[in-house]
Chain A
Amino acid sequence: DIQMTQSPSSLSASVGDRVTITCRASQGISNYLAWYQQKPGKVPKLLIYAASTLQSGVPSRFSGSGSGTDFTLTISSLQPEDVATYYCQKYNSALLTFGQGTRLEIK
């Protein structure tokens, strides 16, 4: 089974900072990767699919990159409403897997 490992597990940053979260697959998954945001007590929300395609309605400060085994989610200028846990998810096969999540807080 392909494992998805996110880093860091948690981070704290200041408003306006550039934030990067990494997701690594144990084997290549091409660009079959999505990112989700889950705010406290809320339903997960799709941010990015196909590694770098922004879902409709998602602010342009979010971006994704990568292919193969290494992927990143970047927030170009952190806003208070971005406090959430972020998950990556692979979908290159019928066995769908999430990363363990990265908790993002404001300093």
Chain B
Amino acid sequence: EVQLVQSGAEVKKPGESLRISCKGSGYSFTSYWISWVRQMPGKGLEWMGRIDPSDSYTNYSPSFQGHVTISADKSISTAYLQWSSLKASDTAMYYCARQELGPDYWYFDLWGRGTLVTVSS
């Protein structure tokens, strides 16, 4: 089955670090970008950035550049989203989603089920 499997929900304190994951299966992991999308409680979808797992090239939304780091380990078909110092405002659902590499195909055709991150003191 073609799927993206995300890591489980996290509860963290402000200032803590965190890395969440997204594992692709059933398809060629290096043939698709993996993007991360944030959805704050009751709000819309926000694209954060993406990675090409074949060479780890990344590009970020200006809104998230410098606040998070996206990485990937193609040997285990897994992409990551990482924070070095969480804030309460990072509380949200985070989805990973894939896009074909070619520029005509940069829509999201497969989504993970989401990882809920709660940051609270």
Contacts and interface: CB of A to CB of B under 8 A. Distances in A.
Interface in B60-96: 61-62, 95
A43 B111 contact: yes
B95 A44 contact: yes
Nearest to A46: B109
B45 A98 contact: yes
Given A1-B62, A44-B111, A96 B106 contact: yes
Contacts of A20: none
Interface residues of B, number: 24
A43 B112 contact: yes
Given A96-B35, A96-B47, A46 B108 contact: yes
B47 A44 contact: no
A37 to B, nearest CB: 12
B113 interface: yes
Interface stretch (A10-18, A66-74, A87-95): A87-95
Contacts of A101: 44-45
A43 B114 contact: yes
A7 interface: no
B107 A87 contact: no
Contact of A43 (B46, B95, B103, B104): B95
A85 B95 CA distance: 16
Contact of A91 (B37, B106, B111): B106
Interface of B: 35, 37, 44-47, 50, 59, 61-62, 95, 97, 99, 103-109, 111-114
10 closest residue pairs by CB, A with B:
A91-B106, A34-B107, A101-B44, A96-B47, A49-B107, A98-B45, A43-B111, A94-B59, A100-B44, A46-B109
16 contacts: A32-B106, A38-B45, A43-B112, A43-B113, A44-B95, A46-B107, A49-B105, A49-B107, A49-B109, A55-B109, A87-B44, A91-B99, A91-B107, A96-B35, A96-B47, A98-B46
Interface of A: 1, 32, 34, 36, 38, 43-46, 49-50, 55, 85, 87, 89, 91, 94-101
Given A38-B45, A96-B35, 12 more contacts: A36-B45, A43-B111, A44-B95, A50-B104, A87-B45, A89-B45, A91-B103, A95-B62, A96-B47, A96-B106, A99-B44, A101-B45
